[in-house]
Amino acid sequence: MFRFKKKEKLSVPLEVPKHIGIIMDGNGRWAKKRMQPRVFGHKAGMEALQEVTIAAKEMGVKALTVYAFSTENWTRPQQEVSFIMNLPVEFYDRFVPELHRNNVKIQMIGEVSRLPKETLEALEKAEALTHSNTGLILNFALNYGGRAELTQAVKQIAQEVLDAHLNPGDITEETIANYLYTSSLPKDLRDPDLIIRTSGELRLSNFLPWQAAYSELYFTDVMWPDFGEKALHDAIEEYSHRHRRFGGV
Ligand code: FPP
């Protein structure tokens, strides 16, 4: 008797980006659609971040840099700013233990010294607790602005020149990269391979302008609180079909 072998469903080969940057946009609109205050969306956004971090780790991503608060976000209503500033405190209690069990290492970039004391303390506790972890790096961009990052790098480099520690002729792209906030990341993970922006907006909004020079960009209409494991998988799948040429052929 002839027997047909059941065709196996092939899983799509995934080339997983090592470092993903995420612009977590659309929290406010997501909440408004549900007739809730904007902060309800930020809370849901924090929950989405937990799911995405664990999913990214399971897919083999090495670093996630998430745009949690920009240098421009201070202009939002005071109540919303305070709510967002309290999220790391809640995040530490509710989510950091699970991330720690998953070997996730928490770091941050930005003008973090200007964050409220309790916010900074919660993040520093998370950094200290997960310091020796060797898995995915969850890198929070907080009070981050790309132009501010470049400005502080230029100031530091100018000072090095004034102090005669550096010769202007010796300044290379690597020198500049060494003065950016992302110098806190392992060398091969400083630049994101893929940047995801949710909520249908098509811009980078001062997020990692130097580091994004060769990043693949992925825009989706999904609002950040709805972005989960499946949406991350879709983004990575699309990435795996792109051909990165870095200016070559
Ligand atoms: C942008 O959406 C979102 C933010 C400015 C805040 C993002 C923060 C989180 C997702 C939580 C991060 C977690 C921690 C622990 C800090 P929006 O408010 O601009 O949305 P809209 O464009 O619909 O108004």
- Write the burial class of residue 228 (CB in 10 Å: 0-12 exposed, 13-18 middle, 19+ buried): middle
Q: What three-state secondary structure class fits 200?
A: coil
Rounded Cα distance between 136 and 63, Å, is 5
Do the domain assignments include residue 162?
Answer: no
Number of domains in the chain: 1
Full residue range of the structural domain in which residue 210 is found: 19-145+190-241
CB 45 within 8 A of CB 24: yes
Question: What is the reported pTM?
Answer: 0.94
Q: Could you list the pLDDT tens digit for every one of the 249 residues in the chain?
A: 444 445 444 355 579 999 999 999 999 999 999 999 999 999 999 999 999 999 999 999 999 999 999 999 999 999 999 999 999 999 999 999 999 999 999 999 999 999 999 999 999 999 999 999 999 999 999 999 999 999 999 999 999 999 999 999 999 999 999 999 999 999 999 999 999 999 999 999 999 999 999 999 999 999 999 999 999 999 999 999 987 778 887
Do the domain assignments include residue 225?
Answer: yes
Ligand 1 pocket: which of 22, 23, 24, 119 to mutate (most atoms within 8 A of CB): 24
The single residue of 73, 86, 102, 133 carrying the catalytic annotation is 73
43 C-beta closer than 6 A to ligand 1: no
Encoding tokens for residue 62?
């090495």
Q: Is 73 annotated as catalytic?
A: yes
Do the domain assignments include residue 185?
Answer: no
Rounded Cα distance between 41 and 244, Å, is 35
Do the domain assignments include residue 206?
Answer: yes
End-to-end CA distance of the chain: 53
Residue type at 36? Answer: Q
46 C-beta closer than 6 A to ligand 1: yes
DSSP assignment of 86-140 equals HHHHHHHHHTHHHHHHTT-EEEEESSGGGS-HHHHHHHHHHHHHTTT--S-EEEE
Q: What three-state secondary structure class fits 179?
A: coil
Q: What three-state secondary structure class fits 64?
A: strand
Do the domain assignments include residue 160?
Answer: no
Q: What is the CATH number of the domain that holds 91?
A: 3.40.1180.10
**In which element (H, E) is residue 68 found?**
strand 63-70
Does 94 belong to an annotated binding site? Answer: no
